Each structure stands twice: as C-alpha cells, then as structure tokens.
C-alpha cells in the first residue's frame, strides 16, 4: 500500500469519526430543543443544509486562513479531516433526524413507562436509530475517501490528488483507473453495505404520519448530560461550520476602510466583468444538468414502476432489481467526479466514432447529469413512498390507467420533492470542480474552476466577489420559486369569490 | 391506588378532559366507555404521567403497566425481548427473569412466536404481546387502552377469559368503546362524553 492511499484511508476514517460525533451532538441538540415547538430544530436544519450547500472551496479556503492566522498545523491530515467533517456532519444529523421523525412517539412513551432512563437510550433509542447512523457514517466515509478539494487545499497527498496529477500529465486512462482501483473497491463495498443496512434496518417506521419535529417523539425523556449541554454544543458546531465561510466571504468582499474601498473596487468590478463568460458557462452547466438529471431520474423511476405494475408485483420496484438500480445510480454521485472525467475521456478515445464529443459542452453536461441523476431518482421514490396508500388503492379500484394515476395522484404529491431535487442538482453543479476539471471545453470554464485556481494564488478579493456571485446564482431559483408560490397563494381565486358571494 | 381530583386538560383550544375526579382502589377494575375523542386516552395518559394536567391533581401509588392503543411494540425487539426488557430491578434477576418470560409466553399463548419481531405478527398476535408486556413486571396499576381492539370475536372472548385472573388484585383502568368488553372486564363502568364523566 502506498503512502497516498494510506493517507486517503486515514483522512476518510478521521473525517467519518469527527462528522459522526458532530452530527450526533447536533442531533441531541435538536432533540433537546423539544420545548421550542420545533423552531430550535428548524434553525439547526436550516444551518445544516447551509453547510452542505456551501461551496467546498470557499469553506476550505476560509479555514485555511483561520488556521494560518491562529498558527495551527493546517497542512496535516487531522486538520483537513476536521475541516471536511465540519461540512459533512449534516449528513449524519439529517439522516438521524429523518429516522427519528418517523419514530412512533408511543414507542418511546412505552419505554418511559417500562424502563429506567439509562436503558431507554441503550436498549430502545440506539437500536432503532443504529441503522440510520451506520448508513450516514458509511456515506460520509465514501464522500471523504473520494474528496478532492479539501485534501488538495490542505496539501495532503491523498490517492485522488495523485490520480489527478498522474492523469493530467500522462493522459493514461488505464494507469489512472488502475491506480484508483482500491478507492473504487472500498467505496463500492461500503456503499453496498450501507444500502443493505438501509434496506434491512428496523427504524421503528410504524408511524405513517411523521412527526412535525424530532423533539416531539423525545419529549419528556431525560437526556443524558442535560439538555443545555447538547443545545450549546449543537450551536457551537453549527457556528464553527458556517461562520468561517460566511465571515471569509464578507471580509474578502468588504474592504476595511475608505481608502481601501477606492483601491479595491476597481479590481472587484474588474473581476466580475472579466468573469462574465465563466458565469454564463456555470449557468449552462448548472441549469442543463438540473434539467437532464431530473428528466433521466424521473424517467428511470417511472420505467421501473410501469414494468412492476405490468408484471403485477412489486419485485422490480421494491426488490433486488430496485436495489441494484439505485446502487448503480448512486455510484457516480459518491465517487469522485474525477473518475467520471477520466472514464469519459478514456471511452471517447477508445471508441473512434465518439472522439468528436471530447472537449465539447455536451460531455460536461452529460458527466454532470450522470453524476447527479441519483438525486431526482431518490427524490421521486421517497416522495412516492409517502403518498397515502389509500389514494393509490382508490386509483386501482377505479381502474385509472398508469398515466392517469401519475397525473392525478403521483405527480401532484411528488412535485415539491422533485423541484427541490432539481434545485439541489443545480447548486451542486454550480459548485462542481472535480467533474469538470478534466473535461471542460476551451472557452467553457465555469466560475467554480476559476475560483479553485484563484484560491491557490491568494487573490482573496476576487475569490470573495466571485463566490458571492456564485452564491447569488445558487439562491436565485429558490427565491424565484418561493416568489411564484407566494404570489400563487395570495392570488384570490374566482371560486373563492363565488363562495363568499353565496354566503 | 389511583386518585384524580378535578382534572382539566386542553389540547390547544379543544377541551380533552374537564373536571374529572375518580378513584380506583386495589383489586378494582374501572372501564371508561365513550366514543372516539371523548377523552378516554387522554385520561389514561394523565394517569401514566405521559402528559401533565392543566389543573387538578393526579395521585398514583404503585408501578404502572400499560397497553397502548397503537400497541407501541418496539420494532427491533423479538417477542421474548419485549417482555425481557421490562423486567429490571433486583426482583427480576437471572432465573426469575427467565421463568417470568416463559410464564408470560405460556399464559398468552406466545411460545411459538417468541423469536419473531412484531412486524411479522398479525394484529391479534401483536395485541397479546402488548398485554404480556404490560403485566409481565407484575404492576400494581394496569392501564389498558382499547386492549382487545385488534381481535375478532373468537379471539376476543378467549383473551377476555385469559385476562380476568390477571386483572385481579390490581387497580385497573380500561378505556374502551366496546360495551361487552367493559361489562366482562370491569366491575364499574363510567361513561365519558366531551371530556367529562357523565
């Protein structure tokens, strides 16, 4: 085993441990905030989503500055693992929260009646949440093992960085794939194990109506260590994850005094003006991949449902085939995007007829759509599972066709989840560096790649203003969607007027 | 064993329990009869200490066993573990625990399902497990929320007969909408409507 491979393993294990502990601590913080009727939990969820959606290069760059300022050993594996875990703990937190929201509150009430407090946590709560915890930790491990930006920023020689350097200098696909084989094998095995855990786990999902907030199920239970401790710890972890990135963004953009303002403004505006083509490229990649990934994801999910219903069983939609399809779709998402780029270049070189598309926009769009197709697919299947079975049964009783059932029952219920999934793909594609770094066409460099390069040369002001532009671009569809929904809700309907008139 | 004095409980703007006073002595079974939403379950939850009353006092003396309306069987635990888990403290160490688990499995006819998880059992079988778990630790107070709701006619009759000797010597509060269950299992029937005993 080579040193970079060992470094990769150590980096991934340390990140997993830190992120699991952090995610659990914030989870207890959310549970401890049960008396706040859910708003405490909402703040933590909002912060966690914010951490996940923060551009990794921005987060890593800000922590590099903080570490250097405090004279910490930044170019080490533990520091890099700590920084990445501050971005990945939300995976553990959100998975635990989702599992606990589905706990039937009376299961814990029964525990309160029959068991002493210590045994409630050891024998009831932990076994019910353990599959979710293992699943989340496995996902964090794979993401950390395949992470490119954070270890590269912190100058940790990991396997992925080695593969990148080797491939970009020699363009030897076979050698690059062979070198990355151990990472692939470990990731795929962990992913398979995680998927099995998720499928077999008993998470107490007897409750069809998920609670409004996780604290609802845990209300009245004594929390080991006290509620104040966990609420405080959760808040500290959240702030440590968000503040450096946001603070860095603001301090890089806003100059310290008037004189600096004059000298800064020209380079800042210049940076934006010069980067207009890059912003355009980012928009094409993000919007295009969101569109294609959503269409393909829903089409694959729909095809599986149709085949399952024609065969009169659920074997395809819910059984081993579904598990296999999900595993195949999730693989490009959790593996490093670098591998996808190497594979596509290798494939187009091997197949002469496809050589034309190397270095085109289409290749970049295809790579991003393949990488993120799992998100809309998963959103569709989860949203469908939450539709009341009575509604689908009624459609069966009244012999609605498959298309009519989709239009009348499934689509209205799944629409919000699919819109959210499309937005997630849009944001992730906007931040993406590793998928495009090897395959972007000449003149098609996105902002994220320019930022990644600028970070290395210390152009802080330019990094700040371009990041701010990218964050604004990321929020734009969400704000537009919110505005449209708000306007829709407040538009008086003709039917409403009629009803009032009748009264 | 159970004493309630002028209990009031609201759920938001809805009055769940209004000015209820009630006493249940050792060896007495009391049935609360009423339609859905009449406040029976809320009253049981107040006695169990799962909810606090808005006003009034609840005095409970003794250990509590309870059958939940939703049964609340822990999905990860096998039938015998459901019973084992509630047997803790010095009285239930080693052989005593094993013997008690075997006894409960036998009394409720659960021997053949001892190593199965609740998700693999029928509604009636799950009901028996919930009852076995409620009485396993030999509690002085038993709260039964629709204890026979998931059973058909024959099984219901059989389980009523099994339950009768088990209820003896305890303070029992049963919430049910089935008059026959109330008549057979309880010595005293109280009718609830809109949160009040009428």
Locate the domains of chain A by residue range.
1-253, 257-503
Per the CB < 8 Å rule, is B72 touching A119? no
Closest CB to A106 among B68, B77, B133: B68
pLDDT for position A374 = 92
Question: Where does the pLDDT of residue A315 fall: very low under 50, low under 70, confident under 90, or very high at 90 and above?
Answer: very low
Q: A411-431 and A374-385 are packed helices; what angle lies between their axes, rounded to 10 degrees?
A: 150
Nearest residue on chain B to A114, judged by CA atoms? B86
Residue in chain A lying closest to B81 (CA): A123
Q: For residue range A395-444, what is the model confidence (pLDDT) as tens digits? A: 666 666 777 778 777 888 888 889 888 988 998 899 888 899 888 888 88
CA distance A318 to chain B (A): 18
Q: Which residues of A touch B48 (CB under 8 A)?
A: 109, 113
Considering only the beta carbons, identify the residue of A109, A115, A127 that sits closest to B72.
A109
Of A104, A202, A203, the CB nearest to B72: A104
| Residue A503 predicted with pLDDT over 50 | no
* Of the ranges A166-175, A253-262, A294-303, B115-124, the best mean pLDDT one: A294-303
State pLDDT tens for residues A324-348.
Answer: 888 889 888 888 888 888 888 888 8
Using the predicted structure, report yes or no on whether residue A458 has a pLDDT greater than 80: no
Percentage of residues in chain B having pLDDT higher than 70 = 100
Whether B31 has a pLDDT exceeding 80, the answer reads: yes
Mean pLDDT of chain A: 80
Contact yes or no for B82/B118 (Cβ under 8 A): yes
pLDDT tens, A56-65? 888 888 898 8
The pLDDT, as a whole number, for residue B90 is 84
Contact in structure between B141 and B63 (CB atoms under 8 Å):
yes
The pLDDT-based confidence of A358 (bands split at 50, 70, 90) is confident
Cross-chain Cβ contact A119/B88 below 8 Å? yes
By C-alpha distance, the chain B residue nearest A116 is B88
Q: Which of A110, A205, A220 sits opposite B68 (nearest CB)?
A: A110
Is A113 close to B64, i.e. CB distance below 8 A? yes
pLDDT tens-place string over residues B142-193: 999 998 887 777 788 888 888 888 899 999 999 998 888 899 999 999 999 9
The model's confidence at residue A495, banded by pLDDT at 50, 70 and 90, is: very low
pLDDT score at A258: 58
Tokens 């998920």 locate to A210
Q: With an 8 Å Cβ cutoff, is A199 touching chain B? A: no
Weakest-pLDDT range from A60-69, A147-156, A354-363: A354-363
pLDDT beyond 80 at B7: yes
The CA distance from B63 to the nearest CA of chain A, in Å, is: 9
Between residues 12 and 31 of chain A, which touch chain B (CB distance below 8 Å)?
A: none
Can you tell me the distance from the alpha carbon of A346 to that of B47, in angstroms, rounded to the nearest whole number?
71
Question: What is the tens place of the pLDDT at every residue in B81-110?
Answer: 889 888 888 888 888 999 999 999 998 889
In angstroms, the CA B60 to CA A500 distance is 53
How far apart are alpha carbons B188 and A409 in whole angstroms? 49
What does the pLDDT read at residue B175? 94
Share of chain A above pLDDT 70, in %: 81
Taking residues B56-78, what's their average pLDDT? 88
Share of chain A above pLDDT 90, in %: 19
pLDDT for residue B118 is more than 50: yes
> Is pLDDT of A245 > 90?
no
Whether A112 contacts chain B with CB within 8 A = yes
Q: How many CA atoms lie within 13 A of A25 on its CB side?
A: 19
Which residue from A minimizes the CA distance to B70?
A106
Q: Tell me the C-alpha distance between A389 and B82, whole Å.
A: 29
Cβ-defined contact of A114 to B137 (cutoff 8 Å): yes
> Where does the pLDDT of residue A294 fall: very low under 50, low under 70, confident under 90, or very high at 90 and above?
very high
For position A501, what pLDDT does the model report? 35
What pLDDT, on the 0 to 100 scale, is given for residue A493?
A: 41
Give the CATH architecture of domain A1-253: Orthogonal Bundle (1.10)
Domains A1-253 and A257-503 in one fold: yes
Contact A115 B88 (CB under 8 A): yes
pLDDT higher than 90, residue B77? no
Question: Rounded to an integer, what distance in angstroms lies between the CA atom of residue A86 and that of residue A63?
Answer: 10
- Closest-CA residue of B relative to A109 is B50
**pLDDT for A386 beyond 70:** yes
Please give the pLDDT value at position B135: 92
Q: Is residue A494 very low, low, confident or very high in pLDDT (cuts 50, 70, 90)?
A: very low
Return d(Cα A3, Cα A80) in angstroms, integer: 17
Find the CB nearest A127 among B68, B73, B76. B76
The residue among A42 and B112 whose pLDDT is bigger is B112
Interface of B with A (CB under 8 A): 48, 50, 64-66, 68-70, 72-77, 85-86, 88, 117, 119, 133, 137
CB contact under 8 A, B75 and A206: yes
CATH assignment of A257-503? Answer: 1.10.3720.10
Pick among A112, A114, A117, A121 to test the B interface (most B CBs inside 10 A): A114
More confident residue, A500 or A454: A454
Please determine, for residue A202, whether its predicted confidence score (pLDDT) is greater than 70: no
Task: Please tell me the predicted confidence (pLDDT) of residue A496.
Answer: 37
Handedness of CA B17, B19, B25, B28 (dihedral sign): negative
From residue A44, alpha-carbon distances to A239, A241, A345, A421, B142 in Å are: 10, 12, 42, 20, 40
Interface check for A174 against chain B (CB to CB < 8 A): the answer is: no
Task: State the pLDDT at residue A318.
Answer: 55
What's the pLDDT tens digit per position in A460-487? Answer: 677 777 888 888 888 888 777 777 766 6
By DSSP bridging, strand B29-33 and strand B171-176 are parallel
Residue A218 sits at the vertex; the CA angle it makes with A212 and A224, to the nearest 5 degrees, is 145
């Amino acid at each position: 085993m080579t040193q970079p491979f060992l470094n990769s393993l150590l980096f991934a294990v340390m990140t997993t441990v830190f992120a699991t502990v952090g995610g659990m601590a914030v989870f207890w913080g959310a549970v401890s905030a049960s008396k706040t009727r859910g708003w405490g939990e909402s703040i933590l969820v909002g912060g966690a989503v914010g951490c996940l959606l923060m551009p990794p290069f921005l987060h890593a760059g800000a922590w590099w500055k903080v570490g250097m300022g405090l004279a910490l050993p930044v170019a080490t594996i533990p520091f890099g693992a700590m920084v990445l875990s501050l971005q990945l703990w939300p995976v553990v937190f959100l998975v635990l929260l989702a599992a606990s929201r589905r706990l039937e509150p009376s299961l814990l009430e029964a525990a309160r009646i029959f068991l002493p407090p210590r045994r409630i946590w050891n024998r009831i709560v932990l076994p019910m949440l353990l599959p979710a915890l293992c699943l989340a930790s496995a996902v964090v491990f794979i993401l950390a093992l395949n992470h490119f930006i954070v270890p590269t920023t912190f100058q940790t020689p990991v396997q992925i960085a080695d593969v990148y350097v080797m491939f970009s200098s020699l363009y030897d696909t076979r050698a690059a794939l062979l070198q990355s084989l151990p990472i692939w094998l470990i990731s795929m095995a962990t992913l398979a194990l995680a998927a099995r855990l998720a499928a077999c786990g008993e998470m107490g999902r007897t409750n069809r109506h998920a609670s409004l907030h996780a604290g609802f199920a845990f209300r009245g239970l004594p929390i080991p260590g006290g509620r104040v401790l966990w609420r405080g710890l959760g808040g500290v972890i959240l702030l440590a994850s968000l503040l450096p990135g946001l603070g860095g963004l603001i301090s890089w953009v806003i100059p310290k005094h008037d004189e600096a303002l004059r000298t800064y403004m020209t380079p800042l505006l210049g940076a934006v003006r010069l980067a207009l083509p890059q912003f355009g490229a980012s928009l094409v990649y993000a919007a295009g991949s969101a569109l294609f990934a959503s269409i393909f994801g829903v089409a694959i999910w729909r095809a599986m449902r149709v085949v399952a219903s024609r065969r009169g069983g659920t074997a395809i939609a819910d059984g081993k085939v579904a598990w296999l399809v999900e595993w195949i779709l999730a693989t490009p998402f959790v593996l490093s995007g670098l591998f996808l780029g190497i594979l596509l270049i290798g494939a187009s070189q091997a197949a002469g007829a496809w050589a034309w598309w190397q270095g085109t926009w289409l290749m970049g769009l295809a790579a991003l759509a393949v990488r993120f197709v799992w998100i809309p697919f998963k959103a569709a299947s989860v949203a469908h599972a939450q539709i009341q079975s009575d509604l689908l049964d009624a459609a069966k009783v009244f012999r609605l066709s498959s298309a009519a059932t989709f239009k009348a029952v499934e689509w209205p219920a799944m629409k919000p989840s699919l819109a959210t999934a499309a937005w997630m793909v849009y944001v992730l594609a906007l931040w993406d560096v590793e998928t495009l770094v090897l395959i972007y066409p000449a003149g098609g460099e996105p902002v994220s790649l320019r930022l990644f390069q600028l970070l290395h040369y210390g152009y802080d002001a330019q990094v700040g203003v371009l990041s701010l532009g990218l964050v604004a671009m990321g929020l734009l569809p969400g704000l537009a969607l919110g505005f449209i929904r708000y306007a829709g809700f407040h538009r008086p309907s003709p039917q409403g007027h009629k009803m009032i008139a009748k009264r | 064993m159970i004493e309630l004095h002028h209990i009031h409980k609201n759920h938001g703007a809805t009055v769940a329990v209004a000015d209820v006073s009630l006493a249940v002595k050792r060896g007495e079974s009391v049935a609360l009869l009423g339609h859905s939403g009449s406040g029976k379950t809320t009253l049981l939850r107040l006695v169990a200490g799962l909810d606090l009353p808005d006003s009034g006092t609840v005095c409970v003396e003794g250990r509590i066993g309870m059958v939940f309306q939703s049964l609340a069987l822990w999905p990860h635990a096998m039938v015998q573990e459901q019973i084992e888990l509630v047997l803790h403290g010095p009285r239930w160490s080693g052989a005593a625990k094993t013997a008690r688990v075997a006894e409960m499995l036998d009394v409720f006819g659960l021997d053949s399902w001892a190593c199965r998880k609740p998700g693999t059992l029928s509604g009636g079988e799950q009901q028996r497990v919930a009852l076995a778990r409620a009485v396993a630790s030999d509690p002085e107070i038993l709260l039964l929320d629709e204890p026979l709701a998931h059973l058909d006619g024959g099984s219901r009759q059989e389980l009523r007969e099994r339950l009768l000797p088990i209820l003896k010597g305890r303070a029992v509060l049963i919430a049910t909408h089935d008059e026959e269950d109330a008549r057979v299992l309880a010595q005293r029937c109280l009718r609830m409507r809109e949160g009040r005993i009428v």
